[in-house]
Each structure stands twice: as structure tokens, then as C-alpha cells.
């Protein structure tokens, strides 16, 4: 991770958010150690870093699953009943939105908008998008992902 | 393409095209430009739309299939990835241009259809099902019996000025942009005009900010120019945090250089040498495309030090927004850039006087900046011919929700809602009736059918109590529950409230509580709770007024809008929920009452076993019944029934 710290100059508070973003991209999530390191690097107290990191939706302090599922809850997706998809996934994987399955294979999250409103409802699993799925298709997709890890 | 060739093109484009002031080219230049514009091609060219909307629809698989097909059949053809032309419901879009023929567009080309389409069209025959239309290209042979793209309802009513390259050019090719007249306005600007003259031109054009407020852009620039400061900043706001709007994303993905040119001109006009583009981190595709575009522009000497030898320096950097709705507010955006929590501050002083690090800062949104090159190219008088008395120019809208066609469009200001819905978007899906149009994101308003003939401009909208917002249009059909929609928006705003001032932080929470009380049915309700629920409507209105009048920033002031507008136009629906405990749209799950159709029920007993309330009675192989007083409306029986015998009212 040192190469990321090297990119950002010392003691510049405006580098806080980009630095955290890159560290999260590298590590997957933020840990207490990372926050302490950032604090020493930028000379910002850790409480302020936590203050900033918890304010923004992007930062997370928990590990994601191997497959990260994002269900869009934008206005257009809401109208196209994205909520029923969310419930279906919660039921199938036995996981609540915002958490990870026990075997760490899947994590589920709702997002405000992915910018694919014309294709709603949109679901994203890692880098693959799915749209206009029926509930049956959805369980099929999840089954394939589940088999991949077994 | 070999490196030497590229440099050649670069020198040619800069010296012969951008710097050609008159716009009259000699024969060799014209021919070479036509070649670069792909007016004439020597081998087949295949265009695939790979904007985010295309990728979601599966354009990457189509692309892979096309590549395979070409290599398997030893066909030499160019594949060009373009952005989106706006007709997102027709994605993935695939265009084919054969030598001597016009460019032909196919719709909904998923990977399984790609082979058949290529097979037939490369042999000069057509499969009529997937054909969308052909481009108008004089001098080339037209495909028989294929309509022009401009004649399709989606395109025919649009006036595409800032979208004119969208879906046509490769977004990550600066050549494509320059051969269509790009970066010439920037050259004219830095060479001919002093900064205050540019502000004056923009002021004359009467361009108003496209991010909702509608502040005159030229005036904003002038304030920043006239305020003394060591370092001025130009910020392009591409955060687009409104769910349901995606024009900025589409603009960047389809024609990023137009936005960059706008940023460069704006920076020159306010005397800024640093520009920052604030992009949503969710828009990965936009981020990649912008990064590439900035690199190319630097390579061409159009950004960086001493642009066109004029002494004007500009460095453009990208910052990722970390996901906070409130950062759409200028002052919150500035604190986010300074590495703080994105809390809004009080205005005045406006950022144009005292913004990032206390320096004069202009914040414009993507669409506003994309308008700038056009105004400088054609003059402010041309711009003023478009639009209405109070609002000049064109406006981008994203059309989503329950319409037949969805996507993004550009229409002159003053176009009516009904023209957009009925003529461009083709009406409501599945022949349902239109209930309302939601405009301006979560803090926007719902416009009832009676007001749909209102021309869309700043003044007419404020007359009916609406704001333009970013321009996200969501079409609602008769199956939409307005109370539930208001609850959804309130939930969103309550989550996104930054927590700085109490009216917004606590008020949105209270409004959400009231709306949840209305849309839910508790198992047992005490008299007190019933009274609270009945008081709901009255309280909602007075709460809304307090939030609107006492909040600091735009988010808080506009937070009650969705509730107030729904209450105004759809009051009977609220009353139906409160007094009759009924949701006629069937959206509020808790308020549904279930019945069993004796005709279809064969007494399989599944619903009885699954019912958590023991509300279903009946013996095996006999039709069952639901005891209404015990039923909580959870819908488990409805999902469990294999014979569709259970229905709700």
C-alpha cells in the first residue's frame, strides 16, 4: 500500500478523500490500521477521518463477499419494483441488504442510482449488469454464481 | 495505427483544421477531413454503442461476438465503440457502414442476433426486424425501404445541438471531435478575446445554469472574474446525484471533449488555471473515458501549459465524488473537495466570490459547459433563437419509468411535457393511462396530467410550482401509488440529509414516520395511534412548511416538495390510505385485502400451512377462505398459491 501513500503529499487535508478511495480500492475495505496510517500521513486526527469516512456512502469498514451484489434503488428502478428483487435475493441468500453471507461468498447492497435508469430494474454482480430479469431468472443467475464457488 | 501516422494526423488537425480561421479548406484538406469523418469508407465499419446503458443491455457480449465473427470469416472491417445516441431502450445499438452506402442502424442487437445481422447486411440484404433506420448522408447510396433516423419519432422532434455527436463519434478519439469542428471555438477564444469579452458573450446569450437554479452563467463568470484572488478555480459538477437522471453520464460517455472544451473556455473566461471535474464514483465508465480524453487533449496541446502560445495555462484533474446527495449543493461540494464532510454552508458569500480554499470558484454542471463551445461557434444570437422568452437554448432530459421508449433527449426550451411523452417517448407502456410525470429528482414535484401542456422553461414551471432540477423525467402510470412514491422519496431524503440543521434532519424523519404510518397496517392499533394517523395529512402540511422555510440549503428547502405536490394533486389518494386503509394501486403491501377465488381453489392446503396468522380456514380438497379480520396482508399465501386462486383488492 506504500506506493499509494507516496502518490499523495504529506499534510494536505484535501488528499484525504482520494487517498481513502484508493486505499479502499486496493484493500477492499477500510480498517483501523489504514485509518491510523492515513492519520499519520496527512496529520489529521483519526476521529476526523472516521467522521469523513462515515459521512460518505462509498466508504465501508466491512469486507465484501466474493460476489458483491448491488441492487439499484433509483426512482426508475423503484417504479419497476426493484424492491421485490431485493426481497427475493434476501430470501434466496439469507442475507440482509448491507451485510455479507456467513460463508463470505455473497454480499448485498442497495445503491441510489447506477445511471442505467432506461434499463431498469438493474442489478449488478461484481462487474456484470443484469436488467429486466424475472424472479425465476434471478434465482438461476444466483445458482450459477453459487455453483462457481463450490 | 502506426505512431508516425498519428503524429501526422495530430499536426494536420492542429495546423490545418483548428487553426484555419476562415473555415474554408482546400481540396486535399477537405478530402482528408471527409476520410477522417468517415463520410466515405473503403472497408466496412461497425459501430457499437458501449455507453453504460449499452453495457447494461449486453453490448460487450455483442462486441465479442462481432469480433469473433469477423476473424472467423476473415473479414477486414473496423470496429468502433461509440457512446449512446440517446435511444437507450433500443440498446445495444449496432451500426454498419459499407463502402458507398449510408450508415445503417440496428436496434436491440444482443449477442445472439449479431451474427445474423452481420451475415445479411455484409451481403447487402436486410433483416427488417432489427433495423432502426439509416443516417442521412448525401452522395451515398441509400438502403431501400429503410426510413431515415431523423424520421423516427424519438429523433424527429429533437433539436440536437450539444448531442449532435452523441452516438456518432468515438468518445475516446479526439480526432473524431476535431474533424467535426471541435476545439476551434477554444482557439478563437484564447487568441481573439480577452476574458471579460467571453463573459459578455455568454451573458448576451442568456444561458442559464442547467443544474436547477437557473442562475445566468455569464453573470456568475463575471463575478468570479471581477473578484480578486491568487488562484481561481473552475469546477465541473458531474456528480449527478439525482436518482433517475443520467444525462450528464451520457454526455460524458458520448462526447467528453465537448465538455472539456467548455471547461477550458470557462476557465479562460474567469482566469482560472486549475479546473476540477467532480464525477460520481459509481460512473466508472465515465471516469475512464474522461481520463483518456484529458490525456489526449494534453497530448494535442489543448490543455496544459501555454495553450496555442497564448500564455493561458490550464490543468484539469478529476475528483471522484464519494457518494453523498447533498454534494450537489455548491457549498457542500466545495467542502467535500477540501477533504471535509460534505456539509453545506450559508450563502452569501457565493462560491464565485469565496469558494474552494476561499478563492473565487465557479461551479457549473456538465450540460451548462457542453453548451459553451456551440455558443462561441455560432454566436449568442444563434443561441437566442432557440427556446422561449425567459429560457434560451435547448435542454437535455432523461426519460425513464413507464414510457414505451426510454433514454435521453435534447429539445428546445418551451417544449411541452405532453409532446415529450406522447410524441417522443411514444406514450405509456402496455397501453396504461398516465398518472403523472415526476420532474427534478427526489426533491422535485409530480405534475398531474392537467398541467402537461405547460411549456418547459424556468418561468412557466415556477408558475405551476415546479422546478426544472437536472431534467430527469420519470413517467408514472396508473399503477403507481403516489403515497408510496412520496414515502420512497422521503426515505431517500431522510437518508441523505447531512444532519447539519435540525428542521431537515428531524423534519424529514418525522414526515417519513407519518408516511410509513399511512402506508402500513399495524396488527393492533390503539385509539391514540388512529388519531395520530388521522392527523397525518394536517401535520404533513405544517411540517413541510417549517422544513421549507427554515432549512439552510437547497436539499432541505426542497425536501417537502414531493409530499406537498402529491398532496396538492392527489389528495384523495392520501385520504383513501388514511380513512379507508386501502391502496387502489395495490402497491402498499400492508393495505391489501386478500380473497380466495372458489372457482380456482382446489384445496391443496398450502396457503393454510404457510399463513403465519392462521387466517385461512378450509378442509383438504375443499375451497378455502380467508378470515378478513385476522389477515395482515403479508401476501405469503398469494406467493404460495400455485393455482392463482388468491387475489387482492
Quick check: A14 contacting B, CB < 8 Å? yes
B282, B341, B492: residue with CB nearest A55? B341
A108 within a domain of the structure (yes/no): yes
The closest of B117, B153, B39 to B411, measured between CA atoms, is B153
Query: What is the distance in angstroms between the Cα of A63 and the nearest Cα belonging to chain B?
Result: 18
Chain B residues 288-317 within an 8 A CB cutoff of chain A: none
Which stretches in chain B have pLDDT values below 50? 1-4, 6
Fold match between B174-383 and B482-580?
A: no
Quick check: B53 contacting A, CB < 8 Å? yes
Quick check: B324 contacting A, CB < 8 Å? yes
Helix ranges restricted to H, B355-501: 366-378, 380-385, 417-418, 458-463, 482-496
CB B399 within 8 A of CB B282: no
Q: Which CATH superfamily is domain B174-383 in?
A: NADH-ubiquinone oxidoreductase 51kDa subunit (3.40.50.11540)
Quick check: B319 contacting A, CB < 8 Å? yes
| Domain shared by A19 and A91, yes or no | no
The closest of B137, B133, B140 to B107, measured between CA atoms, is B133
Quick check: B361 contacting A, CB < 8 Å? no
Q: What ipTM goes with this model?
A: 0.92
**Domain end marker among A31, A55, A79:** A55
CB B255 within 8 A of CB B165: yes
B243/A76 CB distance under 8 A: yes
What letter would DSSP give residue B19?
Answer: T
**How much is the pLDDT for B413?**
92
A76/B282 CB distance under 8 A: no
Look up residue B577 and give its three cell numbers: 390510505
All residues of chain A having their beta carbon less than 8 Å from the beta carbon of residue B398 are 117-118
Look up residue B25 and give its three cell numbers: 479548406
C-alpha neighbours within 13 Å on the C-beta side of residue B500: 18
Report whether pLDDT(A146) > 50: yes
B52, B57, B399: residue with CB nearest A115? B52
**How much is the pLDDT for B397?**
92
A62 within a domain of the structure (yes/no): no
A19-A20-A26-A32 Cα dihedral, nearest 10 degrees: 130
- Whether a cis peptide bond, with omega within 30° of 0, leads into B315 is no
CB B425 within 8 A of CB B475: yes
**Distance between CA B614 and CA B595 in Å, rounded?**
14
**Distance between CA B51 and CA B53 in Å, rounded?**
5
All residues of chain B having their beta carbon less than 8 Å from the beta carbon of residue A78 are 485, 488
C-alpha neighbours within 13 Å on the C-beta side of residue B638: 14
CB B542 within 8 A of CB B506: no
**How much is the pLDDT for B524?**
66
Q: Please state, rounded to an integer, the average pLDDT across all residues of chain A.
A: 89
Domain total of chain A = 2
Tell me the average pLDDT across A30-54. Answer: 93
**How much is the pLDDT for B525?**
67
All residues of chain B having their beta carbon less than 8 Å from the beta carbon of residue A111 are 282
The CATH number of residue A85's host domain is 3.40.30.10
CB B50 within 8 A of CB B59: yes
**Distance between CA B413 and CA B161 in Å, rounded?**
12
A61 within a domain of the structure (yes/no): no
For the sheet containing B407-412, what is the strand order?
A: B407-412, B394-401, B472-477, B434-439, B445-447
- CATH classification number, B592-648, choose in 3.40.50.720, 3.50.50.60, 3.20.20.70, 3.30.70.20: 3.30.70.20
**Distance between CA A77 and CA A66 in Å, rounded?**
25
A79/B245 CB distance under 8 A: no
| Domain shared by A50 and A74, yes or no | no
Nearest CA in chain A to B51: A116
A76 within a domain of the structure (yes/no): yes
Structural domain of A138: 67-149
| Domain shared by A48 and A74, yes or no | no
B89, B339, B488: residue with CB nearest A118? B89
CA B125, chain centre distance (Å): 36
Candidates A18, A49, A75: best to mutate against B (most CBs of B within 10 A) is A75
B56/A14 CB distance under 8 A: no
Where exactly are the structural domains of chain B?
21-147, 174-383, 394-477, 482-580, 592-648
Chain A residues 42-71 within an 8 A CB cutoff of chain B: 44, 51-52, 55-59
The closest of B150, B82, B89, B50 to B398, measured between CA atoms, is B89
Tell me the per-residue pLDDT of A49-102, one tens digit each, with 9 for 90 and over: 999 999 998 899 988 889 999 999 889 998 888 888 888 899 888 888 888 988
Number of other residues whose CB lies within 10 A of the CB of residue A131: 20
Tell me the average pLDDT across A4-17. Answer: 84
Q: What is the pTM of this model?
A: 0.91
A129/B56 CB distance under 8 A: yes
- CATH classification number, B21-147, choose in 3.30.465.10, 3.30.930.10, 3.40.30.10, 3.40.50.620: 3.40.30.10
CA B121, chain centre distance (Å): 33
**How much is the pLDDT for B523?**
60
**Distance between CA B148 and CA A5 in Å, rounded?**
55
The β-bridge relationship of strands B104-106 and B434-439 is unpaired
**How much is the pLDDT for B3?**
43
- Three-class SS of B281-321: CCCHHHHHHHHHHHHHHHHCCCCEEEECCCCEEEEEEEEEE
All residues of chain B having their beta carbon less than 8 Å from the beta carbon of residue A117 are 243-246, 398, 400-401, 406, 472
Q: Domain B482-580 belongs to what architecture?
A: Up-down Bundle (1.20)
Quick check: A73 contacting B, CB < 8 Å? yes
Look up residue A52 and give its three cell numbers: 469523513
What letter would DSSP give residue A117?
Answer: G
Using the Cα atoms of residue B345, residue B238, residue A79 and residue A70 in order, give the sign of their dihedral: negative
A58, A113, A131: residue with CB nearest B243? A113
Amino acid at each position: 500500500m506504500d506506493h499509494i501513500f507516496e502518490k499523495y503529499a504529506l499534510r494536505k487535508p484535501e488528499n484525504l478523500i482520494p487517498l481513502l478511495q484508493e486505499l479502499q480500492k486496493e484493500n477492499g475495505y477500510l480498517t483501523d490500521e489504514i485509518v491510523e496510517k492515513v492519520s499519520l500521513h496527512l496529520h489529521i486526527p483519526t476521529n476526523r477521518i472516521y467522521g469523513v469516512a462515515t459521512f460518505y456512502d462509498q466508504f465501508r469498514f466491512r469486507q465484501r463477499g466474493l460476489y458483491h451484489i448491488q441492487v439499484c434503488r433509483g426512482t426508475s428502478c423503484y417504479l419497476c419494483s426493484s424492491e421485490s428483487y431485493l426481497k427475493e435475493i434476501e430470501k434466496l441468500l439469507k442475507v440482509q441488504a448491507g451485510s455479507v453471507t456467513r460463508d463470505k461468498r455473497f454480499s448485498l447492497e442497495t445503491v441510489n442510482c447506477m445511471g442505467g435508469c432506461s434499463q431498469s430494474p438493474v442489478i449488478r454482480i461484481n462487474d456484470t449488469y443484469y436488467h429486466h430479469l424475472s424472479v425465476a431468472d434471478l434465482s438461476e443467475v444466483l445458482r450459477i454464481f453459487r455453483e462457481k464457488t463450490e | 495505427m502506426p505512431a508516425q501516422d498519428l503524429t501526422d494526423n495530430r499536426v494536420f488537425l492542429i495546423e490545418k483544421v483548428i487553426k484555419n480561421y476562415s473555415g474554408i479548406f482546400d481540396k486535399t484538406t477537405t478530402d482528408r477531413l471527409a476520410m477522417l469523418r468517415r463520410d466515405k469508407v473503403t472497408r466496412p465499419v461497425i459501430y457499437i454503442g458501449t455507453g453504460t446503458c449499452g453495457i447494461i443491455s449486453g453490448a460487450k457480449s455483442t462486441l465479442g461476438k462481432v469480433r469473433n465473427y469477423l476473424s472467423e470469416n476473415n473479414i477486414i472491417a473496423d470496429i468502433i465503440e461509440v457512446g449512446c445516441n440517446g435511444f437507450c431502450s433500443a440498446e445495444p445499438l449496432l451500426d454498419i457502414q459499407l463502402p458507398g452506402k449510408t450508415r445503417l442502424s440496428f436496434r436491440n442487437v444482443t449477442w445472439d442476433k449479431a451474427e445474423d445481422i452481420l451475415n445479411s447486411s455484409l451481403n447487402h440484404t436486410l433483416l427488417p426486424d432489427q433495423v432502426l433506420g439509416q443516417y442521412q448522408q448525401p452522395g451515398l447510396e441509400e438502403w431501400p425501404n429503410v426510413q431515415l433516423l431523423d424520421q423516427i419519432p424519438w429523433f424527429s422532434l429533437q433539436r440536437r445541438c450539444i448531442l449532435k455527436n452523441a452516438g456518432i463519434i468515438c468518445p475516446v478519439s479526439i480526432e473524431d471531435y476535431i474533424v467535426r469542428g471541435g476545439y476551434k471555438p477554444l482557439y478563437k477564444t484564447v487568441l481573439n478575446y480577452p476574458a471579460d469579452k467571453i463573459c459578455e458573450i455568454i451573458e448576451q446569450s442568456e444561458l442559464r445554469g442547467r443544474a436547477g437554479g437557473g442562475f445566468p452563467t455569464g453573470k456568475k463568470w463575471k463575478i468570479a472574474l471581477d473578484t480578486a484572488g491568487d488562484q481561481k478555480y473552475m469546477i465541473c459538477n458531474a456528480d449527478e446525484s439525482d436518482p433517475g437522471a443520467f444525462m450528464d453520464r451520457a454526455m460524458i460517455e458520448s462526447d467528453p471533449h465537448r465538455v472539456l472544451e467548455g471547461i477550458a473556455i470557462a476557465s479562460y473566461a474567469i482566469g482560472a488555471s486549475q479546473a476540477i471535474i467532480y464525477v460520481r464514483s459509481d460512473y466508472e465508465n465515465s471516469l475512464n473515458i474522461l481520463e483518456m480524453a484529458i490525456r489526449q487533449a494534453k497530448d494535442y496541446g489543448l490543455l496544459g501549459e501555454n495553450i496555442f502560445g497564448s500564455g493561458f495555462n490550464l490543468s484539469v484533474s478529476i475528483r471522484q465524488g464519494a457518494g453523498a446527495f447533498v454534494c450537489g449543493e455548491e457549498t457542500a461540494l466545495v467542502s467535500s473537495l477540501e477533504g471535509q464532510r460534505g456539509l453545506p454552508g450559508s450563502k452569501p458569500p457565493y462560491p464565485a466570490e469565496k469558494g474552494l480554499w476561499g478563492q473565487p470558484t465557479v461551479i457549473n454542471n456538465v450540460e451548462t459547459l457542453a453548451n459553451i463551445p456551440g455558443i462561441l461557434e455560432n454566436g449568442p444570437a444563434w443561441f437566442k433563437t432557440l427556446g422561449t422568452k425567459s429560457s434560451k437554448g435547448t435542454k437535455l432530459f432523461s426519460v425513464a419509468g413507464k414510457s414505451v421508449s426510454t433514454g435521453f433527449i435534447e429539445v428546445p426550451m418551451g417544449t411541452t411535457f405532453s409532446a415529450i411523452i406522447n410524441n417522443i417517448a411514444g406514450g405509456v407502456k402496455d397501453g396504461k393511462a398516465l398518472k403523472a410525470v415526476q420532474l427534478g429528482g427526489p426533491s422535485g414535484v409530480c405534475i398531474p396530467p392537467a398541467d402537461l401542456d405547460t411549456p418547459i422553461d424556468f418561468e412557466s414551471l415556477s408558475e405551476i410550482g415546479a422546478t426544472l432540477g437536472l431534467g430527469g423525467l420519470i413517467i408514472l402510470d396508473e399503477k403507481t401509488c403516489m403515497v408510496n412514491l412520496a414515502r420512497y422519496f422521503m426515505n431517500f431524503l431522510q437518508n441523505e440529509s447531512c444532519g447539519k440543521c435540525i428542521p431537515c434532519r428531524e423534519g424529514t424523519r418525522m414526515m417519513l414516520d407519518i408516511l410509513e404510518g399511512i402506508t402500513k397496517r399495524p396488527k393492533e392499533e390503539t385509539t391514540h395511534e388512529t388519531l395520530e394517523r388521522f392527523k397525518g395529512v394536517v401535520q404533513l402540511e405544517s411540517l413541510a412548511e417549517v422544513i421549507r422555510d427554515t432549512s439552510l440549503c437547497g436539499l432541505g428547502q426542497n425536501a417537502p416538495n414531493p409530499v406537498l405536490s402529491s398532496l396538492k394533486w392527489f389528495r384523495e389518494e392520501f385520504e383513501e390510505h388514511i380513512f379507508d386503509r386501502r391502496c387502489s394501486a395495490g402497491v402498499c403491501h400492508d393495505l391489501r385485502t386478500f380473497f380466495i377465488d372458489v372457482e380456482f381453489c382446489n384445496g391443496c392446503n398450502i396457503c393454510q400451512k404457510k399463513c403465519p396468522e392462521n387466517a385461512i380456514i378450509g378442509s383438504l380438497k375443499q375451497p378455502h377462505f380467508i378470515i378478513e379480520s385476522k389477515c395482515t396482508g403479508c401476501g405469503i399465501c398469494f406467493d404460495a398459491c400455485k393455482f392463482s386462486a388468491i387475489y387482492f383488492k
